[in-house]
Every structure is written in C-alpha cells, then in structure tokens.
Amino acid sequence: MSQNADLLLSNCVSGGCGAKIESDGLACLLTGIPAMRDERLLVGYDAADDAAVYRLDDTYSLIFTVDFFPPMVNAPKTFGRIAAANALSDVWAMGGRPTLALNLVCFPETLDKRILAAILAGGAEKITEAGAVLGGGHSIYDREPKYGLAVTGIVETLKVIRNNTPAQGHKLILTKPLGVGIVMAALRVSMADEDAVNRAVASMERLNRYACECMADFHVSACTDITGFGLAVHALEMAADSATILLYPDALPVIPAAVDYANEYLLTAAGQRNRNRAEKYTDVSALPFAIQELLFDPQTSGGLLIAVPPEEAEALVGRIREAGDTSAAIIGELAPKSEKIIVFK
C-alpha cells in the first residue's frame, strides 16, 4: 500500500483548502441563485458565514455544513484526520456542537482501495473525538482523490455566533499558527523539513472543539475559522461594512519554517488569489514579504479567529492555551471604520 499511498499528492493538482474557489468568484455565482425565504433559516448562503443555521424550535437550531478537498499529505490516515477536522470546524466556529457526520468520497478507480480504507479510518477517529456520530455517506469514482464530511450540529439559538458581528473595541484572538499552506507547498517540491511538516500536520489535525468549549464562558461577539481564504480575507468577512481590523503583525503565531519558505517563494496559487481579493482593502507594502504571504496563505483546518471584550482577552487566551492550543495569541482589535478595512499596528 505504501507505494500507492505516495500517489495521493501526485494525483492532485492542488490540495486542502487551497483548492477552494476564490471568494469573489463564489459571490458572482451565487447572484444567479433565486433567494429562498424561510423564517426558520437564520443563516443562509447569502451571509458568507461558516455554515447554515436552521431554527428547530424556541430553544435550539441546527447547524449544517459540508467540506471536502483533495489531499495535502501522502499519508492516507493523516489526510482523513485533517479533512474531518476541517469539516467539523464550521460547527464550532458558530458556537455549536457536532452531532452527525456523513462521509463524502471521490476516489480514482486505479488506486488501491486500502488507501481509501485508511482515509476513512482517519476521518472516523476525528468524528469520534468530536463527540459526533458517523451515519453513512456517499462515494463516487473520480480522477482525483477527495474526502470530507457533511456535518450537522446543534446550538442554542440565542447563542449562535456569527462571523460578521464583531463589537467595536473587541480584541481578536487566533488559536492556531499560520503557515500551513506554505509548508505544504514546500512539501510538494520536497523542500520541507520534517519538523515543519510535523508542526503543520499537528495543527491541521487539532480539533477546534477545545477552543470553542473555552470561549463558551466568554462574551464572544464574532468568530470564524481560518481556512482557504487565509487570515486576511476571513478578516475582511468579519469586518463586513461596520469596522476596521487593526492587526498586530509581530503578534501573529506562525510555523517558524514557513517564514523561510515564503522568502524562498514556496507559495500557492490560492495565496495569490487571496492577495488579489484583499489588496484593495489593505496596504501590506510596509510589511516584510514573508508576513504578507502568511496573511494570505490558505489554511487547511486553521484556527478560530475570535472577537472578545478587551478585559476578557488575556483570560480567554490563557484558557485556550491550557486546553492545548499553545499558539493562541491576541493578534489585533476592532477599530472604527476607516478607508482601509485592514490596517496594521
């Protein structure tokens, strides 16, 4: 199986959340879909939020999300863990709890089915760790291997956390380090060292469940998970039309080797798409090149970006670090709206 497993990356043009269609392209596509009105649909596709939310009754709502992508690593079980962790994350970003998951599988007919079995086993591990139940799924043959989940979660309706409702003056916390996409780009050309890859994999496999459970005791005004659009574009979505985000570049948690790889131009096409999307809303020219690229780097199974009152920020960071996300840091704050949506301190 090991020889065939090495074919995971060679069978894919791109991998992980770097395979996402750019946000502007998605927005144009969605304009052609007729608006669907239902008073129970609290969050729909028109909101650019992390998942859909549908009110069940006076107390609870369901969270629905789906995510799948090609592999970014050759180890099948590792790929399964990462893809599942990534798909489950949207539920936690909205303050919910995953309950049911379904496998989504695309797999080349020519590859050893034992590879697929290992992918599914890795995914099942993370579903179990999340406290959810695997209920089945759907599979098809395809030219590229792809895997992910459709996930249903539950949340108290009054406690749904949106991605675009940050309060003025709130601090921003990022729970995982940046640089995963850059490290994976280095891996594809056999230029990533083992320690960097291990750090990236550990981050991608890490569930956002624990950070979500920590923030439940705090007054969070907005939250999103950082995935394929990178920190910059997800920050734009959080600011919406109501605020400017002031980032602290020196405070950004990063995978150290990603800085070196960025300076060697081991970058991704998705990172360039994110730069193109964000450049009219921010001016990064004064920042070191590597920091610029880390802002735009597509993150697979990235951390949560949490807006919380300034008097609670240090306590929440401490709680999150104690829970195991040791890179968690305060990386910025919400400021009054200005000409640029993202500025730097």
Residue positions annotated with a catalytic role: 17
Distance CA 13, CA 16 (A): 11
Q: Specify the DSSP class assigned to residue 155.
A: E
Cα 314–chain centre separation:
23
Q: Specify the DSSP class assigned to residue 334.
A: E
Sign of the four-CA dihedral 276, 277, 283, 287 = negative
Question: Pairing state of beta strands 133-141 and 146-156?
Answer: unpaired
Nearest to 230 by CA among 289, 151, 176: 176
Nearest to 147 by CA among 71, 44, 77, 251: 71
Distance CA 113, CA 320 (A): 39
Distance CA 256, CA 81 (A): 23
Distance CA 126, CA 124 (A): 5
Q: Which residue has the tokens 């605020």?
A: 243
Question: Pairing state of beta strands 304-308 and 171-174?
Answer: antiparallel
